[in-house]
Structure 1
């Protein structure tokens, strides 16, 4: 199946025009519901980085007559700083607040700049920065369970990365697509995308190698390949041990992320107790400011503790989940909250009753807000 057949832009499509249409619809309240429920395509074919053709390399003679706007290095830095800023807002307030800001910045600032005059190097740098920002926007849409929308943003990020010659963002976006496929139970697709991401970055640094190998380990576990999953985890740990102390706001990878992958692999392979221990370790080493990630990991941890029959421990974890949930606007958090409510409806112990009372009060507060 080609990009066009799957409903995505082909090589002959103009990335900017397609992205304009996508962002405009994302910002239109009357269309947002349609976009959010748009179909995710597990059949989407993703070509390799080297197969995507010539990169965009326009000169002043190529641009439309009468254009007056010109961008420079300052605009590139602005997009990069906004990417970090939106990532911080995502952690502090949740995707429900951060993604509309991202869509507005894309529509009002990034898209006009992409259509402006620029020297060759600046144009490539701007495309690369825009690709990273669009990838983050797709990541937030995925976390808000708007999977069709998230996939479309990811495809646009791939095209922008190709046009800007940004191989790192290209493979990082493929890794995000692998995570999305995994969350939607498309095991083989998750592994294929994770492998494609690794193949797209043959000269990656150790932190990015760890980032990609961890996703390959999860993909292998999802298809039941135990040997390969643990081999990939060993490679992940080895690469991470060689990484420097810097961790990017977007696409970063650290010990908390590694232990999260260990937990995901063990859970996929049926080791419930081991997955719980690894998730607890992930929480212990997670930076304090990563509220969004902590909320998600606590939601998973509590569900697994409940599944194992450790009800009191699950209630304690759900309490920590609620500490973050009250401050975040997040559809992924809402999904975990729904699981919490189902759990408390099935038991009548003291800890469960107390948790249920707190959950009901928080539900009333959020409904009133």
Structure 2
């Protein structure tokens, strides 16, 4: 059920299917956590599965733009991971809480969360897993104004991701793609924060390729989000025609995706296109009409 709901979420966004998923969480998953188990190891596995499902509920809330609710789900996930005595899952949740704080413009405690995740995972995690914790710390450093340290941590995370390509990862980590793609995405966000648009474009392009080839190409939302961000970086460098071509692929990828993040990205594309039209970019008018049609169907 976790795999099925995750696949639906990736194809159609956090605003799609939430009532059904929350109902399943309240009944079946809650009942599982209250069960009695013959062995402690089985109890740990059951609580870990419940934590992963609760994490997905938080992720859907985040994608729907309900950030306070997302944080409450993440805190519940952290409690379940602790009850399951699963330190790597605890580190995974601390990491997403740090990223969430950065995404909503509340970075005050994010470096502490990222450092706590690394401390919990120390001497327990494989390189691929560690790469995702290190890139989280890099992003927190960038937002703290420590750009040089952030870039050094980006390189360390990339090296770890390369070393960890053949690692066996926990199922709850790989449901939404491989670590290498996530490292590319967050590296791009770091370079954007540092106003290094060429490197940000390069990393978003790498992320789109990685997500586009993962899980049989089923990760449509994150691929389209990566393309939308890549187009933004191309536009920031003055590559207007190129940006329009990339955004066209992004809007195509958002078809059938009901997500607050997608809504904001398409609105941002249209704001940029209005400027492009005044500059006489021929591709802008047709793309703006495509984006407007998407907004009417999905907003």
What TM-score do the two structures reach when normalised by structure 2?
0.88
Corresponding residue of 1:223: 144
Task: Pick from 11, 27, 52 the counterpart of residue 108 of structure 1.
Answer: 27
Corresponding residue of 2:60: 140
Instruction: Report matched runs for 1:36-115 at 5 Å.
Output: 82-115=1-34
Q: Is the 8 A contact 1:87 1:249 kept in 2?
A: no
Corresponding residue of 1:124: 44
Give 1:364 deviation, angstroms. 3.4
Cα deviation digits, residues 191-219 of structure 1 (max 9, x gap)? 22111111111111111111111111111
Give 1:246 deviation, angstroms. 4.7
Instruction: Point out 4+ residue stretches in structure 1 off by more than 4 angstroms.
Output: 245-249
Give 1:249 deviation, angstroms. 5.7
Partner SS for 1:125? helix
Aligned CA distance change for structure 1 residues 338 and 354 (closer, same or farther; 3 Å):
same
For 2:111 and 2:236, the matched residues in 1 are separated by 26
Give 1:237 deviation, angstroms. 2.1
For 2:274 and 2:198, the matched residues in 1 are separated by 24
Aligned CA distance change for structure 1 residues 357 and 222 (closer, same or farther; 3 Å):
same
For 2:298 and 2:70, the matched residues in 1 are separated by 25
Corresponding residue of 1:185: 105
For 1:88 and 1:144, the matched residues in 2 are separated by 16
Corresponding residue of 2:205: 280
Aligned CA distance change for structure 1 residues 87 and 250 (closer, same or farther; 3 Å):
farther
Instruction: Report matched runs for 1:1-369 at 5 Å.
Output: 82-121=1-40, 122-202=42-122, 203-243=124-164, 244=166, 246=168, 250-252=172-174, 253-286=178-211, 287=213, 288-348=217-277, 349-366=281-298
Q: Is the 8 A contact 1:92 1:292 kept in 2?
A: yes
Q: Is the 8 A contact 1:188 1:219 kept in 2?
A: no
For 1:147 and 1:365, the matched residues in 2 are separated by 24
For 1:147 and 1:106, the matched residues in 2 are separated by 19
Aligned CA distance change for structure 1 residues 248 and 323 (closer, same or farther; 3 Å):
farther
- The structure where helix makes up a greater share of residues is 2
User: What is the Cα-based RMSD across aligned positions, in Å?
Assistant: 1.9
Partner SS for 1:345? helix
Aligned CA distance change for structure 1 residues 293 and 156 (closer, same or farther; 3 Å):
same
Number of residues of Structure 1 aligned to a counterpart in Structure 2: 286
Determine which structure has more spread, i.e. the larger CA radius of gyration: 1
Q: Is the 8 A contact 1:175 1:215 kept in 2?
A: yes
Aligned CA distance change for structure 1 residues 108 and 258 (closer, same or farther; 3 Å):
same
Q: Is the 8 A contact 2:189 2:200 kept in 1?
A: yes
For 1:85 and 1:330, the matched residues in 2 are separated by 18
Q: Is the 8 A contact 2:130 2:160 kept in 1?
A: yes
* Unaligned stretches of 5+ residues in structure 1: 1-81
What TM-score do the two structures reach when normalised by structure 1?
0.73
Aligned CA distance change for structure 1 residues 302 and 100 (closer, same or farther; 3 Å):
farther
Cα deviation digits, residues 252-277 of structure 1 (max 9, x gap)? 34332222222122111121122112
For 1:110 and 1:360, the matched residues in 2 are separated by 40
* Unaligned stretches of 5+ residues in structure 2: none
